[in-house]
Amino acid sequence: MKQDAAFNQQPIGFLKSLTLFILFLTTFLFAFENRIELPVWLQITGRLHPLLLHVPIGIIVLTALLLLLRAQFKSKQFVLLMTYLLLFITLSAAFTAFFGLLLAIGGDYGADTLQQHKVSGLILAWLSYGVLWFYQSSSEIIALKHGSIVLLLGVVVFVGHTGAGLTHGENFIWEPLQTTEPNLDPETVSLYQLAVVPVLEKKCFSCHNEKKSKGKLIMAVVEKFKQGGESGAAFIPGHPDSSRMIQFIHLPLKHDDHMPPDGKPQLTQPEILLLQAWIKSGADFDKKLGAYAPDDTLVLLAMQNTSFTKVAPAYTFKAASADVIEKMNTPFRTVFPLHVNSPALKAEFFVKDYFEIKALEELRQIEEQLVSLSLSKMPVTDADLNLLSRFSNLEVLNLNSTLINGSGLGNLTSCKNLKSISLSGTQVTTGSLITILTLPQLKTVYIWNTAIDAVGKAELEKAYPHITFVHNLFTDESTLALSKPILVNEGILKATDKIELKHTMPGVTIRYTVDGTQPDSVSGMLYEEPITIVETVKLKAIACKPGWYCSSLFESSIYPEGYKPLQTELLAPADKQYRGEGSTSLTDGRKGFVDIFKEPAWLGFRNNNFEAGFDFGNKPPAINKVVLSYGDNLGAYIFPPTEVQVWGGNSKDKLKLLMTQKFSEPKGYRTPYMSFITVNWETSNHTYYKIIAKPISKLPLWHGGKGQKGWFFVDEVFFY
Amino acid sequence: MSKEFIDHRNHVTRRHFLGKLSLGIGSAALGSLLIPDLFSKSESPLASLGLPHFAPKAKRIIYLFQNGAPSQLESFDYKPMLNKMAGEELPASIRMGQRLTGMTSGQSKFPLVGSYFKFNQYGNSGTWVSELFPNIAKVVHDICFIKTMHTEAINHDPALTFMQTGAQQGNRPSMGSWLSYGLGSENKNLPAFCVLLSRGRGNGQGVYSKLWTNGFLDSVHQGVQFSSSEERVLYLKDPEGRDRADRRNMLDQLSQLNDLNHKEFGDPEIQARVQQYEMAYRMQTAVPELTDLSKEPDNIIKMYGADCLVPGTYAANCLLARKLSEAGVRFVQLYHQGWDQHGNMVGEMPLQAQDTDRSTAALIMDLKQRGLLDETLVIWGTEFGRTNYCQGDLSKENYGRDHHPRCYTIWMAGGGVKAGTTYGETDEFGYNIVRDPVHVNDFHATVLNLMGMNHEQLTYKHLGRYYRLTDVAGNVVPGLIA
């Protein structure tokens, strides 16, 4: 009894008394729970319950385990150890029960489980006190004493389980094993049950159920979910952005109101989108999955989040394996499903130069799944069509511009599902076509540009009234004008180059002149081969073809290359807005465009004359002609010059006037065009030439800018 | 001594290290059993998008963009009231103080003006079409008109950018890029998104490459601009003096080098580059096949008009668009400039109509006779409408119209739209919408729907949020879908 005396000394005796005090207090509070109003600081104390509860559990388990090791201890020491442990159990169990009761009073927990937890927790606390008392008693039945500790272990497991049920949901432990196969019948199951509930179950119901309704919100019961919680409705049908639950989801994670709270499993992006879409579409709890349109956002999101795959099967055959489909795809053959999760496949062939009949044969691997096939423009012959006979589910077939004449179409009679066939641009005849017109599903046949004419089409329509035959839709008998011929090498010709003309339409004749006269369908030169020229010409050309009006006139100035000066300089500056690339713009061989004068090919002059010097060096060629290429765009104040002077000599300082030429001003507006001026003089061998061109100083009276200064734009100067 | 110590330490450390390492690897291996996709190759982004979401009505789009805003009042939205009240002031009850552009806000008067051009009814539906579009009038039974488009911007650039990318500011992916991102390419030998430009004869507005940008999407989704010259795709020809065999040889050698490099560094970009070279090589065959017009029957040339033989014209682009689309290009985008008639409506509108009417109608007929119209969505669209009042001087002979974002007309044909119908109605002044408005976002949502995609699901995460073509708005318009 010596140990007992020691055990009952301070502070141990005090702890026992404290425990008893707490136990009575807790029992008292439990009895009058409904009348209690808890001060805030006590509420905080209550929240220590989830922390403290692990202490008695831990010590009880430890104590029970020590029973197994009792042979390792001296008997007296073991009794003393057990007594101390039981004391700690009793003390911590009492405080845990007390704090737990405070938490229960302040919290929102469901009724049944909570009551079980409260009662069992209180029993555990009293029981542990009882076991301590029994253990210290003089009873000699050791087995009974140890048995009572095992009983304690059993009770704590029960209490712990009811408590965990409160925080994690009642089905917390067994849930992962309960994978009930969901009912996926779109006619009987609501989309809410099928797609929304699984998300809420995982992420929301554990705190918002009938047992534990945080914020007084119960989501697990439809009627209560609709009512909302203590701060109002959880959602406003049709308005996800104003719905509280969506707003809380989007709060920053650390925010107090963020849902689910920090530390709990968070909603994934697709889950959030699903909840939003469900609220946006009216938060309907009963609407059956089948009642939604298949392209509805909500349905698509639901399909992403749950395991069901399709709303209504359009095809009953099995899908081909992903590996097979992947292998089918080459740069020249594309095979893909009609849409996600559809077993039906479409195959298309591209680039006729790379077509191999083997590629068509390989489609056998997907013969059941193929519903649409395009061989448009591929070099497929009638003999190849027997490969198509195996495609029993084929609905759409495109054979446009293939090499068939129809004799192989009979192979398609086994394609019982064929709805539409395109044969435009082939040699198919009425006789060969009728072999497939009895196919039961056939609705549309495209026979434009085939051997079947309008009469043939009318006969077919009469014989097969349920089929639409699409023939030539365009019946305009009016005559049209051809487009102009195209000049292949526009601008400046090198010495060896020739003028090349062409037209993109087959069977066109081109007639041209270089002497300024107008060509027409009979006059002018017939273009047969590229044209050689020796001097600057104005080329005029037209294109003609029987059954068409001749094209309008094509006009272009063509410049042979000429002699190149060694050096070029501007003796008077170009306008600062239109400096081009300085003097090099004049001899760089780059032509300007008549509507883009900002281009560096152009030099523009208004306030002073164009004045440029050209140095031909020590061995000057014999020159008798200069050609100035300039822009004519009267509306933009851009005029031909009024006068051009050519000066020549053997040094820059000693020049004499070789030729002056004056030009009359235009009489009215005309279409902008590229023009040129030719100035001739007696052949000379000067080393240096100076060219002066004077812009018009006063625009004529008929012009919108009458009296103002005009512009002179030059892009190139040629010497011959 | 210290050396022995170090040796000893090293020795033990290595053993320890390897011993611990095996333990670590063992635990990582065990852990990886629980993370099935940790070491497997990542899924392609498209597979995770799950596209198309549902059975598409259309597989390809040809978008004929009429740049500059053709007047709805001179084309498809017939308003005889404006002719009756010509010259009278726009009633304040109609204008309701709505904003105007800086170009007419200074005008002291807003005189109403009716169409100079006559309207007639066509087709079973009795659709009113202006005399300027006699050929489009012949195919109204294939067309679904939307009279009640409306937009948020009032000037060309933001409105155009909004219509094409779903945002006014630019740098968002354009419609074609979203399509390419969502559906990929049908024909691996051609770009999925091609852009064709043409200039008209009327007052023009610019088009910029931001209208066919991939924005934040992968650059393979960028629109490829075709040249107006005869060589429609630049840099595709072999250099002078080199033939296909040389090219093949060069690519084979190069790919061997690249393979070596790939073995050493394992960078997937190297393989991607090899693929690009191979695609360009295949394009060398695929593109000339497309641009060769000599195989087109005379009847086709006549149908599109002789201009279709001149590269760079709208007619040539329509014909090329048909050929590209026929060859599986997802999105062919045309831009035709010159529709900005602030003045000289009477002079310019007929020229613009002449350049586009015949080939537009021809494109629809051509697709139809090949059985392609059912799976090709043709869109005739623009950025906004024009005012019912006159901008500048109003005379019996001529007038102009300013920008009008409150209502405008576009139309669609083929690919699952309600053919031969008109959707929505504007008031008798052609100023406000009376019923069934269609916002630009709604239009985008509907087009994506026709292509088998849900506009709220076609997303791309960028700068921390999910972007869509319709951004945060837009509703599919069921009334447009057959």
Q: Which CATH number covers residue B453?
A: 3.40.720.10
Rounded Cα gap, residues A560 and A564, in angstroms: 12
Tell me what pLDDT residue B196 has. 95
Q: Which residue has the higher pLDDT, A29 or B122?
A: B122
- Measured CA distances, A123 to A93, A94, A185, A356, A671 (Å): 10, 10, 49, 85, 108
Q: Do B371 and A398 count as a contact with CB atoms less than 8 A apart?
A: yes
| A477: contact with B, CB 8 A cutoff | no
Q: Which domain holds residue B358?
A: 51-230+308-480
Query: Which listed CATH number (2.130.10.10, 2.40.50.140, 2.60.120.260, 3.40.50.300) goes with A562-719?
Result: 2.60.120.260
Q: How sure is the predictor about A310, in pLDDT bands with cuts at 50, 70 and 90?
A: very low
Q: Do A353 and B299 count as a contact with CB atoms less than 8 A apart?
A: no
Q: Do B189 and A331 count as a contact with CB atoms less than 8 A apart?
A: yes
Rounded Cα gap, residues A688 and A614, in angstroms: 6
Tell me what pLDDT residue A391 has. 94
Rounded Cα gap, residues A545 and A551, in angstroms: 9
Rounded Cα gap, residues A229 and A244, in angstroms: 10
Q: Do B369 and A353 count as a contact with CB atoms less than 8 A apart?
A: no
H helix intervals, B305-431: 314-326, 345-369
Q: Which residues of A touch B452 (CB under 8 A)?
A: 339
**Of residues A340, A354, A486, nearest to B50 (C-beta):** A340
Q: Do B370 and A400 count as a contact with CB atoms less than 8 A apart?
A: yes
Q: Do A449 and B452 count as a contact with CB atoms less than 8 A apart?
A: no
User: Residue A527 carries which side chain, given as an amino acid letter?
Assistant: Y
**Of residues A304, A331, A472, nearest to B188 (C-beta):** A331
Kindly list the domain boundaries of chain A, sorted by start residue: 2-168, 190-305, 322-470, 486-559, 562-719
- Measured CA distances, B396 to A76, A115, B90, B348, B391 (Å): 123, 92, 18, 16, 14
Pick the residue from chain A with its C-alpha nearest to B55.
Answer: A339
Minimum distance, in Å, between the CA of residue A583 and any CA atom of chain B: 29
Q: What is the DSSP letter of A482?
A: P
- Please, which residues 301-320 of chain B have a Cβ atom closer than 8 Å to chain A? 301-303, 305-311
Pick the residue from chain A with its C-alpha nearest to B366.
Answer: A473
- Please, which residues 195-254 of chain B have a Cβ atom closer than 8 Å to chain A? 230
- Measured CA distances, A339 to B50, B262, B334 (Å): 8, 35, 27
Q: What is the DSSP letter of B239?
A: P
At residue B115, the 3 state secondary structure works out as: coil
Q: Do B56 and A342 count as a contact with CB atoms less than 8 A apart?
A: no
Q: Do A470 and B282 count as a contact with CB atoms less than 8 A apart?
A: no
- Please, which residues 361-420 of chain A have a Cβ atom closer than 8 Å to chain B? 376-377, 398, 400, 420
Tell me what pLDDT residue A106 has. 66
pLDDT tens string A312-363 = 557 888 888 888 988 899 889 999 988 877 889 999 999 988 899 999 999 9
pLDDT tens string A75-115 = 888 888 888 999 999 999 999 999 988 888 766 665 677 88
First to last CA, chain A: 139
- Residue A658 sits at φ, ψ, to 5 deg, of -90, -35
Tell me what pLDDT residue B131 has. 97
Query: Using only C-alpha atoms, what is the Rg of chain B?
Result: 28
> Of B333, B346, B386, B378, which Cα lies nearest the Cα of B360?
B378
Say whether pLDDT at A428 is over 90: yes
Instruction: Tally C-beta pairs within 8 A across A and B.
Output: 143
| A471: contact with B, CB 8 A cutoff | yes
Q: Are A480 and A548 contacting, i.e. CB atoms less than 8 angstroms apart? A: yes
Domains of chain B: total: 1
- Measured from the Cβ of residue A510, the count of other Cβ atoms closer than 10 Å reads 22
In a domain, B209, yes or no: yes
Q: Do B371 and A444 count as a contact with CB atoms less than 8 A apart?
A: yes
Q: Do B297 and A331 count as a contact with CB atoms less than 8 A apart?
A: no
Say whether pLDDT at A286 is over 80: yes
**Residue A591 tokens, joined:** 């032509």
| A547: contact with B, CB 8 A cutoff | yes
- Helix, strand, coil shares of chain B as percentages rounded to 5? 40, 15, 45
Domain A486-559 has CATH 2.60.40: yes
pLDDT tens string A561-589 = 888 899 999 999 999 999 888 888 898 88
**Of residues B189, B310, B368, nearest to A351 (C-beta):** B189
| A448: contact with B, CB 8 A cutoff | yes
Tell me what ipTM this predicted complex has.
0.85
Tell me what pLDDT residue B6 has. 54
Task: Give the DSSP H or E segment for B336.
Answer: strand B331-336
User: Residue A627 carries which side chain, given as an amino acid letter?
Assistant: V
Rounded Cα gap, residues B330 and B376, in angstroms: 9
Minimum distance, in Å, between the CA of residue B397 and any CA atom of chain A: 21
Q: Do B306 and A548 count as a contact with CB atoms less than 8 A apart?
A: yes
Minimum distance, in Å, between the CA of residue A534 and any CA atom of chain B: 27
Pick the residue from chain A with its C-alpha nearest to B329.
Answer: A350
- How confident is the prediction for chain A on average, in pLDDT? 87
Rounded Cα gap, residues B335 and B149, in angstroms: 19
Minimum distance, in Å, between the CA of residue A477 and any CA atom of chain B: 10
Q: Which CATH architecture has domain A322-470?
A: Alpha-Beta Horseshoe (3.80)
Tell me what pLDDT residue B42 has. 38
**Of residues A334, A420, A470, nearest to B187 (C-beta):** A334
Say how many CA atoms lie within 13 Å of A554 toward its Cβ: 23
- Please, which residues 269-288 of chain B have a Cβ atom closer than 8 Å to chain A? 278-279, 282, 285-286
Tell me what pLDDT residue A651 has. 87
Q: Do A350 and B189 count as a contact with CB atoms less than 8 A apart?
A: yes
Q: Do B53 and A340 count as a contact with CB atoms less than 8 A apart?
A: yes
| B368: contact with A, CB 8 A cutoff | yes
Say what the pTM is.
Answer: 0.75
- Please, which residues 131-190 of chain B have a Cβ atom closer than 8 Å to chain A? 186-190
Q: Do A446 and B365 count as a contact with CB atoms less than 8 A apart?
A: no
In a domain, B13, yes or no: no
Low-confidence ranges of chain B (pLDDT < 70): 1-50
Minimum distance, in Å, between the CA of residue B320 and any CA atom of chain A: 14
At residue B65, the 3 state secondary structure works out as: strand
Q: What is the DSSP letter of B409?
A: E
In a domain, B259, yes or no: no
pLDDT mean over A118-139: 89
Tell me what pLDDT residue A524 has. 86
Q: Do B54 and A300 count as a contact with CB atoms less than 8 A apart?
A: yes
